[in-house]
Amino acid sequence: MFSAKLIRQIESELLKHSGRILVEDISGETLIIKRQEAARPQFGYTLLNALAKIFRQPLLCAVPAPGGAAAQAIEIQRLRTLRQAGVPVPEVRHIADQWFAMTSAGTHSVDELIRTSPQQQLAVWQAGLAAILHVHQCGQNLSQAFARNIMWQDGKIQFIDFEDDPSKTLPVAYAQTRDWLLYLHSTAYQMNTDPVTLTRLWQQQLQQDDPEVQQLVQSCSQQLAFLRHLPRQRKPWGRDVVSLQGVGELLHVLRK
């Protein structure tokens, strides 16, 4: 719990800034203040949603995120549940009506490191795979397992951004399968390593996941491997297309 003085200080900072995230040094600790935001279209889902409709494939759909106070309540609840289950997520430090404070997961996301650090790329990508397997072995699932919501600090992964809860609308094994697909969708197209090697590394993790998840991933790969035929060039096609092409390539290699 923060003191009334500290709360006033944070709220006056929030008034001065338009962004939703404030980074504050509080008693020698870096904390992240996340302010509520109205529901908005979910970035990264345009084509996934279209595919989900065509194939009646619930795994790919964006889960409805309510925005505002309801989204904040979901996020705080999920951060607590995940932490208790042993998933590395920030710790909630204070809850206010319009914002909450949590510990920092660092300044670099897996997405950023994959894009900007070729030497670290494969190691960071694999750490992401291992961390997702760990989430599943804790009996949990993520919300939006895009690489931009996976943070990397001193060789350790933390997951952020939990304003929706897929397991409210999907069985857990489906939500876990969705984690794999969203992670690969957000990373495969950026990797400098060949798809056969990537798939082998993914498979090593996947084989340790629940058999039902493995089976669901297999059935998705039957359905979606054709995506590999999409264009590989980002221009003029855009990121949505090349990221589907990338995940299609891995699903094709995985397909039995």
Ligand X SMILES: Nc1ncnc2c1ncn2[C@@H]1O[C@H](COP(=O)(O)OP(=O)(O)O)[C@@H](O)[C@H]1O
Evaluate whether 105 touches 90 at the Cβ level (below 8 Å): yes
User: In this structure, what DSSP letter does residue 38 have?
Assistant: B
Binding-site member from 75, 111, 161, 165 for Mg ion (CB under 5 A): 161
Nearer to ligand X by Cβ, of 28 and 236: the residue is 28
Q: How many residues of this chain interact with Mg ion, rule: CB under 5 A? A: 2
> What residue has token string 């939990």?
162
241 forms part of the interface with ligand X (CB under 6 A): no
75 forms part of the interface with Mg ion (CB under 5 A): no
**Residue 82: other Cβ atoms inside 10 A:** 21
- Spatial CA neighbour of 203 closest among 148, 153, 130: 130
Binding-site member from 17, 21, 169, 215 for ligand X (CB under 6 A): 21
Least CB distance to Mg ion at residue 3 (A): 29
The single-letter code of the amino acid at 135 is V
199 forms part of the interface with Mg ion (CB under 5 A): no
69 forms part of the interface with ligand X (CB under 6 A): no
148 forms part of the interface with ligand X (CB under 6 A): yes
Least CB distance to Mg ion at residue 146 (A): 7
Evaluate whether 122 touches 188 at the Cβ level (below 8 Å): no
- Partner whose binding site includes residue 90, from ligand X, Mg ion, none (CB under 5 to 8 Å by kind): ligand X
- Give SS3 for 19: coil
Binding-site member from 7, 14, 22, 32 for ligand X (CB under 6 A): 32
- Partner whose binding site includes residue 36, from Mg ion, ligand X, none (CB under 5 to 8 Å by kind): none
Burial 103-127 (b: 16+ CB within 10 A, else e): ebbeeebbbebbeeeeeebbebbbb
Q: Give the interface segment with Mg ion, choosing from 16-24, 65-73, 153-161, 208-216 (CB under 5 A).
A: 153-161
| Rounded Cα distance, 35 and 101, in Å | 9
Binding-site member from 72, 140, 149, 199 for ligand X (CB under 6 A): 149
**Residue 25: other Cβ atoms inside 10 A:** 9
Q: Give the interface segment with ligand X, choosing from 116-124, 144-152, 178-186, 229-237 (CB under 6 A).
A: 144-152
